Structure 1
């Protein structure tokens, strides 16, 4: 994992297309984001995500980290789309997460 990937995940999470927009959403300067990228400052990104309450959304994926397997890229993309769709509904998120765990246990 590197800072550039995390910055891209943050941009996707906030549905923004520029560093200026991302900086506004993160309530930091564009220079801070550039510094994260230049120095590969994963810990700083983690800290800011925790402060904003979005750590799990950025750092926990429905893939190897959660379920002990590595899904193919097309399945990861689909899971990320679903994850984005349910991000504001904790009950639905929990139900989907449990469904996915059960599916993996029963089929893989």
Structure 2
């Protein structure tokens, strides 16, 4: 998850541009917010958003894709198919977020629907899998 992306969403949500203004808006010290930012603490942002009742407004879209993936996993289990492992699920979420950030969700969907042939791979590193998803996004923009 990209801390800066969600931090910017919170700034936009409260229509503020500085840590000090955000602190006043959410009743949190500027030093605390600065600490979150230095640590890139998505967990702290999520916790505060839950407390403020704005979690869905800030993180909602990603939660929808997680819920959809969970439903797909459950359906696959029910028909005795192999479910999606956590690493692949996380990469799908990352690919979705990149497509969303580049305003190309439709391109990602089209590419995934067209992606019918898989090569058998015995071993693949996380970086190779990330490269594969990035190539998918690049190809979907063409």
TM-score range, shorter chain: 0.5 to 0.7
Listed one character per residue, the Cα deviations across residues 46-97 of structure 1 (whole Å, up to 9, x for unaligned) are 11100000000000128x8377764573467xxxxxxxxxxxxxxxxxxxxx
- Compare relative contact order (CA 8 Å, sep 6+) and give the higher one, 1 or 2: 1
- Give the secondary-structure state (helix, strand or coil) at the position aligned to 2:61: coil
* 1:15 counterpart SS class: coil
Aligned match of 1:32: 32
Separation in 1, partners of 2:2, 2:44 = 12
Q: Which one has the largest radius of gyration?
A: 2
- Structure 2: gaps of 5 or more residues: 70-95, 106-142
Match of 2:102 in 1: 73
Q: Which runs of 5 or more structure 1 residues have no equivalent in the other structure?
A: 77-108
Q: Is the 8 A contact 1:49 1:55 kept in 2?
A: yes
- State TM-score, norm by structure 2: 0.45
What's the counterpart of residue 61 of structure 1? 61
Aligned equivalents of 1:25, 1:71: Cα separation in 2: 27
Aligned to 2:7: 7
Query: 1:96 maps to which residue?
Result: none
Quickly say closer, same or farther: Cα 1:44–1:75, change in 2 above 3 A: same
Report how many residues are paired. 76
Change (3 A) 1:45 1:73: same
CA RMSD, aligned part only? Answer: 2.7
